[in-house]
Amino acid sequence: MRGLILGGALGAVAARAAYVALTRRPPGMNGRDGREVWGRTNHRGEPVTLLEGPAFVAGAVAAGLLAPGVPGRMRAAALLAATGSGVLGGYDDLAGSASSRGFKGHLGALARGEVTSGAIKILGIGATGLAAAALAGSPAPTRAGRTFDTLVNGALVAGSANLMNLFDLRPGRAIKVGLLAGAPLAATGPARAAVVAAPLGAAVALLPEDLGERAMLGDAGANALGALLGLAATGLGRGPRLAVLAGLAGLNAASEFVSFTKVIQRTPALHWIDMLGRRPAHTPAAPPATPQAADEVADSA
């Protein structure tokens, strides 16, 4: 419990400090002003910043390096999972377009010879997930068992990273999902509690900015949050891991055909949680001015 509290506190302080520093002097690119580079329009047609994502990654990584109770190999795996998925997500945030969406859209474009930023992110996060799983290791006694665990664990990291991004469509939603998923993981043992402490603390510290519709996680933050939760789930027994993987695969597949937002709106309990702490929903007076301002601006995967 002490490690969970200390890790969460470190994550919160580091993420908040990173957010203040980044928003004070937003990093520019190719001569463009930083506020323009990281600025987007949300589902209401109002301006928000994507710098919450890099701040989350910085906070989670910094706290993960300092938090007590994390085994060395798992600490290195968490660093790789968070940094790799965050960088790839950030690349898609800045270079992505609305021309292709979802696995079907990006992989279909790839089959036609078009390499989209989303396809690079999908393949890159898959490779990052496998590398993080291999780095974390497996207690299986046989080589075949260790190979199987690495494949399952890599899929958990990558699948969780992608799924979390699909929830980043409304203020605070992805962070709420992360907290609801991370709390049970933290309760299953000290090792998993130590892994999730830093990202959950960072997420809580940034939640007011998200709910206040001043900032959003974007692909960088959502992918990193999901990857770290997936990595924490690799410590479960083989049966529970396979069950979690089946759930992740089912939800990722369903997202190609079903709107999570519509399902949440039609389900009273989910809608109540989704609206908790948010401003009342309303329809913008004018349509979004840019493709990035669409409802799914963060859902570039």
Domain ranges within the chain, ordered by starting residue? 2-279
Per the DSSP assignment, residues forming a β-bridge with 32 are: 29
The pLDDT tens digits for 72-127 are 899 999 999 999 999 999 998 888 665 556 556 566 666 666 667 777 888 899 99
Q: At 244, is the pLDDT very low, low, confident or very high (cuts 50, 70, 90)? A: very high
**Contact yes or no for 210/175 (Cβ under 8 A):** yes
Q: At 288, is the pLDDT very low, low, confident or very high (cuts 50, 70, 90)? A: very low
Q: Is residue 289 within a helix (H) or strand (E), and if so which, with residue range?
A: none
Q: At 195, is the pLDDT very low, low, confident or very high (cuts 50, 70, 90)? A: confident
**Contact yes or no for 166/301 (Cβ under 8 A):** yes
Average pLDDT over residues 241-265: 93
Does residue 294 have a pLDDT over 70? no
Distance between CA atoms of 214 and 301, rounded to whole angstroms? 23
Does residue 287 have a pLDDT over 80? no
The pLDDT tens digits for 129-158 are 999 999 999 888 999 999 999 999 999 999
Tell me which residue of 103, 96, 53 sits closest to 251, measured CA to CA. Answer: 103
Chain position carrying tokens 């349509």 = 287
**Contact yes or no for 64/198 (Cβ under 8 A):** yes
Task: Provide the 10 A C-beta neighbour count for residue 123.
Answer: 16
DSSP-derived pairing of the beta strands 47-49 and 39-41: antiparallel
Distance between CA atoms of 146 and 258, rounded to whole angstroms? 35
Structure tokens at 260: 């999570």
**pLDDT averaged over every residue in the chain:** 86
- Residues 6 or more apart in contact with residue 127 via CB below 8 angstroms: none
Q: Tell me if residue 215 falls in helix, strand or coil.
A: strand
**Alpha-carbon Rg of the chain, whole angstroms?**
18
The dihedral over CA atoms of 63, 53, 227, 79, expressed in degrees to the nearest 10, equals: -40
Please give the model's pTM, rounded to 2 decimal places: 0.87
The pLDDT tens digits for 13-65 are 999 999 999 999 988 877 788 888 899 888 788 899 999 999 999 999 999 89
The pLDDT tens digits for 81-92 are 999 999 999 998
